[in-house]
Structure 1
Amino acid sequence: MLHAFVKDGGTLRWSKEAEQDAEQNGGPLPAATTWIDLLNPTPEELARAEALMGVALPTREQMAEIEESSRLRITPGAVHMTVMALLWADTDRPSIVPVSFVLAGGRLATIHPVDPQPFLAFRRRVTRSGCPVAKGAATGGEAVLAALVEAMVERTAGVLRRVGLELDTMSSRAFRGRALPSRTEKSDDTRTLKRIGHTGHLVGKAHVSLASLHRMLTFLARGEGWTAAKPTRRWARATLQDVVGLSEYARFLAGKVGLLLDTTLGQINVEQNEIVKIVSILTVGLFPPTLVATVYGMNFAGMPEKSWEWGYPLAILLMVLSALLPMLYFRSRRWL
Structure 2
Amino acid sequence: MLTIHFAGPAACTVWKPGVAEPADTPVWLDLLDPDDAERAHAESVLGAKLPQRDQISAIELSSRLRSDDEILRLNIPAFVRAEAGHGAMTPLGFVLTPKLLVSVRYAESLAFAHASELTDKAETAGNSVDMFIGLIESIVNVSADRMEETAAELSKLSRAVFSDEGGQRGLLRGALFKVGAAQRQIVQLRSAMLGVSRVIAYLCEISPEWIGKKKLERFKTIQTDIGSLNEFEQQLSDRLQFLLDAVLGFINNNQNEIMKVLTIVSVVTIGPMTLAGIWGMNFKSIGEYDWPHGYAMALAAMAVSVIVPMIIFKWKRWF
Whether TM-score is above 0.5 comes out as yes
Structure 2 counterpart of 1:121, from 114, 124, 129: 114
Give the 3-state SS of the residue equivalent to 2:232 in structure 1: helix
Find the counterpart in structure 1 of residue 7 from structure 2. 7
Q: Which residue of 2 aligns with 1:88?
A: 82
Which of 121, 135, 140 is matched with 1:153 structurally?
140
Q: 1:287 & 1:260 partners in 2: Cα distance?
A: 41
Look up the match of 2:219. Answer: 236
Cα pair distance change 1:115/1:305, threshold 3 Å: closer
In 2, Cα distance between the equivalents of 1:291 and 1:121?
76
Do residues 24 (structure 1) and 18 (structure 2) align? yes
Residues 1:42 and 2:39 are matched in the alignment: no
Please list the CA deviations of residues 250-301 of structure 1 after superposition, one character each: whole Å capped at 9, or x if unmatched: 1221222222112111211111121111111111111111111222222322
1:107 lines up with 2:100 in the alignment: yes
**Which residue in 1 is equivalent to 2:241?**
258
Please identify, of 54-63 and 161-170, the stretch whose mean Cα deviation from structure 2 is larger: 54-63
Matched, 1:141 2:150: no
Asked if residue 295 in structure 1 is aligned to residue 278 in structure 2, the reply is: yes
User: How far apart in 2 are the matches of 1:246 and 1:302?
Assistant: 85
Q: What is aligned with 1:137?
A: none
Matches of 2:21 and 2:54, distance apart in 1? 26
CA contact (8 A) 1:53 1:105 kept: no
Task: Give the CA deviation at 1:28.
Answer: 8.8
TM-score of the pair, normalised by structure 2:
0.91
Q: Which amino acid aligns with 2:318?
A: W
Shift of 1:212: 0.7
Is 1:286–2:279 an aligned residue pair? no
Deviations 1:38-93 (A, max 9, x none): 12222232222222222222111211111122111101220111124311336x61
Unaligned runs of 5+ in 2: none
- Which residue number in structure 2 is paired with residue 219 of structure 1? 202
TM-score (norm 1): 0.87
Aligned partners of 1:244 and 1:330: how far apart in 2?
A: 57
1:249 pairs with one of 232, 255, 267: 232
Paired AA for residue 304 in structure 1: G
C-alpha separation between the residues in 1 aligned to 2:25 and 2:82?
33
Distance 1:28 1:155 in 2: 31
1:319 Cα offset (Å)? 0.8
Answer yes or no: is the 8 Å Cα contact 1:14–1:130 preserved in 2. no
Bigger drift between 285-294 and 185-194 goes to 185-194
For residues 301 and 163 of structure 1, the distance between their equivalents in structure 2, rounded to whole angstroms, comes to: 76
Deviates more, 1:261-270 or 1:292-301: 292-301
CA distance in 2, matches of 1:255, 1:220: 31
- Give 1:249 shift: 1.2
Question: Counterparts of 1:73-84 in structure 2 under 5 Å?
Answer: 73-83=66-76, 84=78
For 1:57, the equivalent position in structure 2 comes to 50
Distance (whole Å) between structure 1 residues aligned to residue 43 and residue 204 of structure 2: 26
- Maintained 8 Å contact 1:210/1:243: yes
Q: Quote the offset at 1:238 in angstroms.
A: 0.5
Amino acid at match of 2:7: K
Q: Is the Cα–Cα contact under 8 Å of residues 98 and 210 in structure 2 kept in the other structure?
A: no
For 2:304 and 2:156, the matched residues in 1 are separated by: 49
Query: Which residue in the other structure is 1:313 paired with?
Result: 296
Report deviation, 1:246: 0.8
Change in 2 beyond 3 A, CA 1:120/1:131: farther
> Structure 1 CA distance, aligned partners of 2:131 and 2:186?
27
Structure 1 gaps, min length 5: 135-139
SS at match of 1:106: coil
